[in-house]
Amino acid sequence: MENSPEIYSQSLTSEEKTFALFSHLSVVIGGIILPIIFWAIQKDKSKFVRFHALQSIFYHIAVAAIIIILVMLLVIGILIGALAAGFSASHNNDPSGPLAFGFFMILFYIGLFVILIANAGYGIYLAVKAYEGNLIKIPIIGKIIYKKVYGNQ
C-alpha cells in the first residue's frame, strides 16, 4: 500500500470524503451496489470519489473471486474425500471418507471466516484513510485505477 501526497485533502468537501468513506464501508454495509451508485452520480464531479468508488467496486470483485476459488477448492476436497471413502470402503471398514469431509469443511469455514474478517477490517481501514483525504491505493488495483482517474500526475 502506498499513499499518494495529500495535496487533494485541502480542496475536498466533506461530501466527497463521505462518499469515499461509504464506498469503502460498503464491504461491511451496502455491498457492491453502494460504490456503483456513488461512482455513477459522482464520476464527472469528483476524481476523488471516482477513484475510491472504483477501487471499492474492484475490491468487491476481487474478494468475490477469492471466495469462489475457496468454494471450488472445497468442492475438489469433498470429491477427493468421497473418492477416498469409496476406495477405502471397498477394501476395509476405514472411516477416512467422513473424516476427510469434516476436515475440508473445517478448513473451508476457517478460511471463509478469516477472509470475511480481514475483508471487513481492511474495508474499515480504507474508509478511515479515505475520509482523512488520503488517496491510499489497494495493491495492484489501486495503481491501475489511479492512472485511469488521475493520469500521470
- Per residue in 48-97, pLDDT tens? 999 999 999 999 999 899 889 988 887 887 777 777 766 665 566 656 55
Note whether residue 91 is domain-resident: yes
Q: pLDDT band at 128, cuts 50/70/90?
A: very high
d(CA 82, CA 101): 8
Q: Which of 103, 112, 109, 132 is nearest to 4 (CA)?
A: 132
CB atoms within 10 A of CB 52: 34
Note whether residue 27 is domain-resident: yes
Output the nine-digit C-alpha cell for 7: 495535496
Query: Is residue 2 within a helix (H) or strand (E), and if so which, with residue range?
Result: strand 2-3
Q: How many domains does the chain have?
A: 1
Note whether residue 15 is domain-resident: yes
Output the nine-digit C-alpha cell for 116: 470475511
Q: Which of 136, 123, 110 is nearest to 30 (CA)?
A: 123
d(CA 20, CA 56): 9
How crowded is the C-beta side of 70, counted as CA atoms within 13 Å?
18
Note whether residue 28 is domain-resident: yes
Residue type at 110?
I
Note whether residue 129 is domain-resident: yes
Percentage of the chain modeled with pLDDT above 70:
80
Note whether residue 153 is domain-resident: no
pLDDT of residue 1: 42
R_g over Cα of the chain:
21
Q: pLDDT band at 104, cuts 50/70/90?
A: confident
Report the predicted TM-score, pTM, of the whole model to 2 decimal places. 0.78
Note whether residue 127 is domain-resident: yes
The whole domain housing 73 covers 2-146
pLDDT of residue 151: 82
